[in-house]
Amino acid sequence: MEIPFVKLQGNGNDFILIDETKGNVIPDEMKGQFAKLYCDRRFGIGGDGVLFISSSEKADIKMRLFQPDESEAEMCGNGIRCLVKYAYDMKYIKEECSVETLAGILLVEAGYHSEDEFFAVIDMGRVKYDRPEIPAKGEGEYIEEIEGFTVYAVNTGVPHAVVFVENLDEFDICSVAPKIRYHETFLEGANVNFVSVTGDSEIKIRTYERGVEDETFSCGTGSTASAVVSFKTGKTGDKVLVNTVGGPLTIYISKSGAKMEGSAETVFSGFIPL
């Protein structure tokens, strides 16, 4: 038996995709173990997570994401773009579609600007500011001092902490981020984004991801969270260019929520022999 897979990346955030539109390929109880094994960059394929695409009774397609620590994530902005690219290329969807995730049903516009330049605009839905929805201890919007840093937190599909710093390039995020990621006030932990404002409509970010437990090249939900907090604190306008380590994303902020625009690429495909 062989398991077909496709490797995709969005801004350097890379994923293994398993197509389950015709039925389960990996049993549900083994999906976490599968992600841990094959996300390993030395003994597996390598990736920040494993995407499973399947049919949905509520939307056009369904996305599940399992991470290297075997946990299942509610949503992933770069992951959903990769999933949508695969679905679009396979003709499972058209230019406008809906994707079922654990964070809800998200609306997507997708296509190609040119022969090889894929894009997707994801309606990220309502941004959650109140602590119970993040989730975090206490009431009201989240602004706390942790380890000497002012920390803002929102939920853009998954919980995110946002910290503004002056010199992002020389900042050692892997020594600071775990103290915030595992802070007792975050009931399910949090992804941690360190942000520097580089213009009226531009920011630069680095993200430490829960589940990966390391810095990743890019995070779509983290870019959205960072842009929203930058706008809410008056540091930028409502259209924000977010420069991640892996490339740019554009975030559009409105009263109803936020949209994220970015690209995705197919890296290679193959078979896992069993």
Q: List, as residue ranges, the binding site.
A: 13, 67, 77-78, 191, 209-210, 220-221
Beta strand residue intervals within 20-58, DSSP E:
50-54
Instruction: Give the type of residue at 115.
Output: E
Q: Please tell me the CATH code under which domain 2-124+262-273 is placed.
A: 3.10.310.10
What does the domain layout of the chain look like in residue ranges? Answer: 2-124+262-273, 131-255
Q: List, as residue ranges, the binding site for substrate.
A: 13, 67, 77-78, 191, 209-210, 220-221
> Which pLDDT belongs to residue 76?
94
CB–CB of 31/69 below 8 Å? no
Catalytic (active-site) positions: 76, 219
pLDDT tens for the 274 residues of the chain, in order: 899 999 999 999 999 999 999 999 999 999 999 999 999 999 999 999 999 999 999 999 999 999 999 999 999 999 999 999 999 999 999 999 999 999 999 999 999 998 889 999 999 989 999 999 999 999 999 999 999 999 999 999 999 999 999 989 888 999 999 999 999 999 999 999 999 999 999 999 999 999 999 999 999 999 999 999 999 999 999 999 999 999 999 999 998 899 999 999 999 999 999 8
Q: Which of 219, 264, 267 is nearest to 243 (CA)?
A: 219
> Which pLDDT belongs to residue 116?
86
Asked, colleague to colleague, whether 2-124+262-273 and 131-255 share their fold, the answer is yes
In terms of Cβ atoms closer than 10 Å to its own Cβ (0-12, 13-18, 19+), residue 43 is exposed
> Which pLDDT belongs to residue 170?
86
Nearest-angstrom CA–CA distance, 49 and 80:
12
> Which pLDDT belongs to residue 202?
98
Nearest-angstrom CA–CA distance, 243 and 151:
20
Q: The domain 131-255 is classified under which CATH number: 3.10.520.10, 3.10.310.10, 3.40.50.1000, 1.10.260.40?
A: 3.10.310.10
Strand, coil or helix: what is 125? strand
Nearest-angstrom CA–CA distance, 137 and 217:
29
pTM for the whole structure? 0.90
Helix (H) or strand (E) holding 270: strand 265-273
